Structure 1
Amino acid sequence: MIVKRHSVIFCALVVAIGGFIFGLDAALISGTIRYITVEFNLSDLQVGAVVSAPGFGVIFALMVTGYTCDRFGRKNTLLIISFIYVFSAVASVLATSFEELFISRFIGGLAFTSLSVAAMYIGEIAPSHLRGKLVSMIQINIVIGLSLAFFANYGLLLLSQSGLQWVVTLGIDSNIWRWMLGVEILPAIAWFVLLMFIPKSPRWLMMRNSDDKALTVLTQFVGADKAQKELNNIKQSLISHDQKQSFFVLFKSLFETRLRKVMVIALTIALVQQITGINAIMFYAPTIFEQLGVGTNAAFLQALVLGIVSIVFTFVAVFLIDRVGRRPLMIWGLALATVSLFACYWGFEQATYRLSADAIANLGVPDISILLANMTDITYSSDVEFKNALIDALGTKNAKMHEGILFQHAANMNAMLISVGIISFIAAFHFSLGPVMWVIFSEIFPTQIRGVAIPFFAFIASIMSYLIQQFFPWQLSHFGAADIFLSYATCGVIGFLLLFKLMPETKNKSIEEIAELLSTPETPELVAKREI
């Protein structure tokens, strides 16, 4: 039994590495923002475009992921995805312009479907008592990837400032952002190789009428005594549906009355996971911490702390998800996340910014000290007002280049409240919205529509994620941090109310049992109308 279970765990771990590569890709860019902004003279919207390019790319990829998964299989789709990660990482490192970097990262976004396909595959191979833990491995790998990215960025930053000869020879000091993005290449290659050793999904094989192959895989996973019973359960769940239905017919079936509750729950989770701002906070972490006036190095270090917190509380989620259940983690984690966002809003709302004569004299940047003379001892009531004054005094490029040290000398705020708010939000997210969404998505959809449903709701989450990432720098410049965090918190309240009312508990239930639990009975009139 130990060997058989190990087979499931091994496959789940390999597939979940897609989350690790995603985490690397997503967070490495956070350390490059200042450098690429100066090198390519980027505007706020261009910065947003570079950061959000993968989020834009995945929108297009998700349009065909369902078809690809059902036509070529979950395993082959993952192999394609892993190759795209490798290509994108290499192209990003070699980019020589904003356009090249944007296109390279856009291509990488085509691989961000690794999350939804991994959740689909693991959900289909895992027994019900292990499904929560194994699907949660995706989120664990995401946060490990995020954390490694923050460690790598901070380490490369310190190296670039060390003045060591080998650092200069390798160009780490002059091309630091390329080294940061290059961290992804070797792990992506390793994932591509490992994927060759996993079997195809038994449920997909059943959908392709390959019962013998499906039985062989199930025997490896659950043993010969349980494999036939599992095969019969899968067949029973498929037998009432025409497996020759087209992708578009299956997509249309998502909107049937019997799936109404499933659709509302999935839509709410997909939107709330992103609209509360997780990817703005994680992808722009050093930028946000610089707003607290801690300086560039300390901002990178605090971003690293976010990575560690993410890992710790994702493991908490994995430990609790099959003990406490999905619903308590989601509901109360979202409540804590919302309170944390309100704390951040309050801290930024009360902040003021003022450059004293002594502060200007001690900046250590003589060229700009003279230009700041007209700002001496003027108190600005918001970060937006202060930034606009800096741009008027220094010009856009100089203001962006020296923003970190200027905030360090000017900011007067409760930085501790905001830091604790951000860290507690990250903690809450990673034991609730982060891992639980993928577990729920892997469970609540009937087998025959899973290849369509999971990518569809991942598509919705990706659109929201893209919009959040794309416009965050612009919002920060025009509305300020306080209003941004207030909008995130408000969305958290709405999501909490909806999920508190609608979301059931699904732990220790098979996919077929969950489908029955969430099915909305149809009246004879609705059935007749649909058949017309």
Structure 2
Amino acid sequence: MTGKPDGPAFSRENPSVSPRRGVLAAAIGTAALAGLLFGFDTAVIAGVTGDLTALFALTPETLGITVSAALWGTLVGALFAGKPGDAFGSRDSLRVLAILYFVAGLGCALAPGWTSFLAFRFICGLAIGGSSVLAPVYIAEIAPPRHRGFLVGLFQLMIVTGILVAYLSNATIAGLVGGETAWRWKLGVTAAPALLFFILLFAIPNSPRWLLAKGRRDEAGMAMARIGAPTAELDRIEEALERDPPGEKLSWHRHRRPMMLAILIAMFNQLAGINAVLYYLNDIFARAGSLSPDRQAVMIGVANLVFTLAGMALIDRLGRKTLLLAGAAGMTLCLAAAAGVLFGALGTGLMLPALIGFIAFFATSQGAVIWVYISEIFPTPVRARGSALGASTHWLMNALIAGIFPVLVAWSPGAPFAIFAAAMVVQFVVVAAVFPETKGVDLDEMAQRIE
């Protein structure tokens, strides 16, 4: 299938496919909605850090704990999402996560004190971490190989859309709701899309690959029919499962290469500094002393969305590896410029262009690639657990960097950006040396390509 990546399930010559494309689109769109919640709930904290600092008398250290509380939850959620995902399926596991999103949104809004606020943000993190594993896996398993990069990339598009929605929501609520309750409204509105996500999950099928791995062939056939794929595809998937039998455990001995790749891409994603920048965006602009922090945050969010769309358009044309290399080179230059501004060596007017450039290179490379790459490099029986390894590495680095970032900035504002720039130089070298290209490769033949 490597030479002809678009399998018969989605062939143009198959007239039976078209009437079912709506179900496929709805299934992918619903799973991608997890990305909206991911982005919204992750970035909304940027608009309330000042309120929380004043209300709870936070120091730079306790502010770091407050912001990273959700991130430690994401680590736990990502780490443990793989087993229920493999056991109960991504779709049903996402239903549980939708409930956690809803409870966390209302809980944060109504939290009576700092401790309870941390607890609900941790619960929110469980949902974010779990969905970062299971939603891309679900999409990857039902997407046609030729368009898999674009379709799994919808998850990342929804993440950055959620980030932009968070910035717009924060700015809108700040203008409409005054006083001490504004921050509660900013956090509480996240419960609405969580409820919608929960309802929509009851209208989409289970992954046919997961059903077949569980020995539920009749149900797999019905799921195949619902998404517009002929049941003949089941035979090819069963052949792949013979090479990687159901019930197989994720092990370093057998899956060393995909495990190493998942860990590396997740580490470099966070060593770029993207989430530290997004979490503390208003504080960064305030230190740079330029335009309105809220206005510039929205501009950054728009840039993130636009260039994520560019990355999605390029990922199945140029390939994953090419985007990672180009992005590493561009991010190095932009992060170095931002460090220069904060060190006082460059004018403050360069801060916004430097960060927009950084966002542009990140969104078209690491942002577009990470969830696609992690979700496609593992065999079907261990895909959710393998993805959990990559996602948990991502969230561990995220939590560590978010917790350390305000302390480093208090010591030297430009230091974190200099460190991020150096990390991108290392990424360029490592990707060039060890990362294989996965563009267009069928999931059931990915193991041979990776090895």
Whether 2:290 is the aligned partner of 1:294: answer yes
Whether 2:429 is the aligned partner of 1:497: answer yes
Q: Report which stretch shifted further, 301-310 or 3-12.
A: 3-12
Could you list the per-position Cα deviations for residues 53-73 of structure 1 after superposition, in whole angstroms to 9, with x for gaps in the alignment? Answer: 111012222332111111211
Task: Tell me the distance in 2 between the aligned counterparts of 1:47 and 1:284.
Answer: 11
Residues 427-506 of structure 1: pairs in structure 2 closer than 5 A: 427-478=360-411, 480-506=412-438
Secondary structure of 1:209's counterpart equals coil
Q: Is the 8 A contact 1:326 1:436 kept in 2?
A: yes
Residues 377-456 of structure 1: pairs in structure 2 closer than 5 A: 414-456=347-389
Whether 2:21 is the aligned partner of 1:5: answer yes
Task: Tell me the distance in 2 between the aligned counterparts of 1:133 and 1:231.
Answer: 24
Task: Tell me the distance in 2 between the aligned counterparts of 1:63 and 1:346.
Answer: 37
Match of 1:143 in 2: 160
Which TM-score applies when normalising by structure 1?
0.79
Match of 1:391 in 2: none
Partner of residue 21 from structure 1, selected from 12, 29, 37: 37
Task: Tell me the distance in 1 between the aligned counterparts of 2:361 and 2:226.
Answer: 37
Match of 1:164 in 2: none
Amino acid at match of 1:138: F
Residues 86-125 of structure 1: pairs in structure 2 closer than 5 A: 86-112=102-128, 113-125=130-142
Kindly report the root-mean-square deviation, in angstroms, between the aligned alpha carbons of the 2 structures. 1.5
Deviation for aligned residue 1:156: 2.3
Deviation for aligned residue 1:242: 4.1
Task: Tell me the distance in 2 between the aligned counterparts of 1:290 and 1:231.
Answer: 57
Amino acid at match of 1:265: L
Q: Is the 8 A contact 1:30 1:283 kept in 2?
A: yes
Task: Tell me the distance in 2 between the aligned counterparts of 1:67 and 1:260.
Answer: 19
Secondary structure of 1:42's counterpart equals coil
Match of 2:85 in 1: 69
Secondary structure of 1:481's counterpart equals coil
| Residues matched between the structures, number | 434
Q: Report which stretch shifted further, 54-63 or 460-469.
A: 54-63
Could you list the per-position Cα deviations for residues 32-57 of structure 1 after superposition, in whole angstroms to 9, with x for gaps in the alignment? Answer: 01111001101112111111111101
Match of 1:214 in 2: 220
Which TM-score applies when normalising by structure 2?
0.93
Deviation for aligned residue 1:77: 0.6
Q: Is the 8 A contact 1:265 1:499 kept in 2?
A: no
Structure 1 residues 244 and 276: CA distance shift in structure 2, 3 A: closer
Q: Is the 8 A contact 1:280 1:472 kept in 2?
A: yes
Could you list the per-position Cα deviations for residues 373-421 of structure 1 after superposition, in whole angstroms to 9, with x for gaps in the alignment? Answer: xxxxxxxxxxxxxxxxxxxxxxxxxxxxxxxxxxxxxxxx511222211
Task: Tell me the distance in 2 between the aligned counterparts of 1:143 and 1:187.
Answer: 15
Q: Report which stretch shifted further, 505-514 or 275-284.
A: 505-514
Match of 1:376 in 2: none
Q: Is the 8 A contact 2:45 2:279 kept in 1?
A: yes
Q: Is the 8 A contact 1:343 1:421 kept in 2?
A: yes
Deviation for aligned residue 1:483: 0.8
Whether 2:124 is the aligned partner of 1:128: answer no
Q: Is the 8 A contact 2:259 2:389 kept in 1?
A: no
Secondary structure of 1:456's counterpart equals helix
Whether 2:218 is the aligned partner of 1:190: answer no
Q: Is the 8 A contact 2:408 2:416 kept in 1?
A: yes
Task: Tell me the distance in 1 between the aligned counterparts of 2:145 and 2:112.
Answer: 49
Deviation for aligned residue 1:241: 3.8
Q: Based on CA coordinates, which of the two structures has the bigger radius of gyration? A: 1
Residues 34-433 of structure 1: pairs in structure 2 closer than 5 A: 34-112=50-128, 113-159=130-176, 167=177, 172-224=178-230, 227-228=231-232, 230-245=233-248, 250-251=249-250, 253=251, 255-256=252-253, 259-294=255-290, 298-350=292-344, 414-433=347-366
Q: Is the 8 A contact 1:259 1:518 kept in 2?
A: no
Task: Tell me the distance in 2 between the aligned counterparts of 1:177 and 1:305.
Answer: 21
Q: Report which stretch shifted further, 56-65 or 145-154.
A: 56-65
Q: Is the 8 A contact 1:138 1:435 kept in 2?
A: no
Amino acid at match of 2:393: I
Amino acid at match of 1:131: R
Amino acid at match of 2:270: Q
Could you list the per-position Cα deviations for residues 449-479 of structure 1 after superposition, in whole angstroms to 9, with x for gaps in the alignment? Answer: 112100111011110000111122122112x
Amino acid at match of 2:234: L
Whether 2:446 is the aligned partner of 1:514: answer yes
Task: Tell me the distance in 2 between the aligned counterparts of 1:308 and 1:209.
Answer: 45
Task: Tell me the distance in 2 between the aligned counterparts of 1:59 and 1:174.
Answer: 31
Secondary structure of 1:199's counterpart equals coil
Structure 2 residues not aligned, in runs of 5+: 1-16
